[in-house]
Amino acid sequence: MHTPNAGTPVDIGEALVKIDPEFAFGWLRRSFALHKLNRTTEAAELLLPSLDRFPRNWLIRYNLACYACRLGDSKATWNWLDQAFKVGDADDIKSKALEDPDLERFWNEIGKL
Whole-model pTM: value is: 0.90
**Distance from C-alpha of 108 to C-alpha of 98, rounded to nearest angstrom:** 9
pLDDT at site 7:
76
* Average pLDDT per 10 consecutive residues for the chain, totaling 113 residues: 63 90 94 95 97 96 98 97 96 96 94 87
pLDDT at site 1:
45
Domains of the chain by residue range: 9-111
**Among 28, 26, 20, 21, residue whose Cα is nearest residue 61:** 28
CATH class of the structural domain 9-111: mainly alpha
Exposure letters 6-17 (e unless 16+ CB within 10 A, then b): eeeebeebbebb
pLDDT at site 4:
46
